[in-house]
Amino acid sequence: MHPNPVSISLSSYGADFVRQRGQEQFLDLLAAAGVTRVELREELFASAPDAVALGAVIAGLRLECLYSTPLELWTAEGLPDPLLLHKLETARAFGAVALKVSLGHYHERCDIAALAALLPAHGPLLLVENDQTAHGGRIEPLQQFFQCADKCGLNLGMTFDIGNWQWQGEPARQAARQLGRWVRYVHCKAVQRRADGRLVAVPPQAADLQEWAALMAEFAPGVVRAVEYPLVDDDLLALTRAQVRSLSALGAAQEVAHA
């Protein structure tokens, strides 16, 4: 049995810390920790990066690359955001296997044909994530979108963010059952409500890991799962290694059962 692949969203090391150091400064750490994929975050680049050069460094470390942008796929007018094409080109320059966006304002009158015309025939794969908003963080519009995309033959997938469902009070288990067939990437984070009422991402406890393992049974075996919770420690390499081992083991029992 091979270990399940694990990604690290670089936002996990703290936005300010990563902006100050530069995302490229974490690549050797990820490679040494046994990470499969690095998730580059558009919002954490202090200035426009040399995507081709950075992509070559990532490839040289035998890491996959995913490029994450805060872009919402659908505008309120029912059209794909006109910046999508530029984001796809940037992801391609990085050598990214996928571009991650959020759903945006999808409704049944959205122009799927206009989206189809923008999607590349040969990567990067477009991955649409459930975010924390009322329009992009609920099961129903996401399911409607993916069903329509299937009917139109679009090649795309879903980023399933386990923690984000809590912002809209949606049950993650139900979401996994209804959306699991489209999931190609899983964002893992536990969520806690602070004293001021705000929800925040936190590292998982044993109960969270048990719940996540059950969710993995709804997805394709070997799906890439990502750390998207705070990684803070004096020894970041040891901490990252431990989290990689923990997430890699999720769903292992189900995979043995299917072997």
**Domains and their CATH numbers in the chain:** 6-258 (3.20.20.150)
Six-digit token pair at 168? 């809209």
pLDDT value, residue 258 = 47
Tell me: pLDDT of 18 over 50.
Answer: yes
Q: Evaluate the CA torsion angle 53, 156, 44, 186 in order and state its sign.
A: negative
Q: In this predicted model, what pLDDT tens digit does every residue of 148-188 receive, in sequence order?
A: 999 999 999 999 999 999 999 999 999 999 999 999 999 99
Distance, in Å, from the CA atom of 159 to the CA atom of 137, rounded to the nearest integer, reads: 12
Q: In this predicted model, what pLDDT tens digit does every residue of 111-159 receive, in sequence order?
A: 999 999 999 888 899 999 999 999 999 999 999 999 999 999 999 999 9
**Runs of H (alpha helix) within 100-235:** 112-116, 139-151, 172-179, 206-216
Q: Helix 139-151 crosses helix 172-179 at what angle (to 10 degrees)? A: 10
Predicted TM-score of the model (pTM): 0.95
Do β-strands 125-129 and 183-188 pair in parallel, antiparallel, or remain unpaired?
unpaired
DSSP assignment of 189-217 equals -EEEE-TTS-EEEE---HHHHHHHHHHHT
Would you say 44 and 19 are in contact if contact means Cβ atoms under 8 Å apart?
Answer: yes
pLDDT value, residue 123 = 85
Distance, in Å, from the CA atom of 111 to the CA atom of 73, rounded to the nearest integer, reads: 12
Six-digit token pair at 121? 């025939």
Q: What is the mean pLDDT of the chain?
A: 95
| Residue ranges of E strands in 52-178 | 64-74, 98-104, 125-129, 156-161
Q: In this predicted model, what pLDDT tens digit does every residue of 38-74 receive, in sequence order?
A: 999 999 999 999 999 999 999 999 999 999 999 999 9
pLDDT bin (cut points 50, 70, 90) of residue 239 is very high
Q: In this predicted model, what pLDDT tens digit does every residue of 19-33 receive, in sequence order?
A: 999 999 999 999 999
How far apart, in Å, are the Cα atoms of 215 and each of 78, 161, 162, 170, 180?
Answer: 32, 11, 9, 14, 9
Distance, in Å, from the CA atom of 162 to the CA atom of 225, rounded to the nearest integer, reads: 10
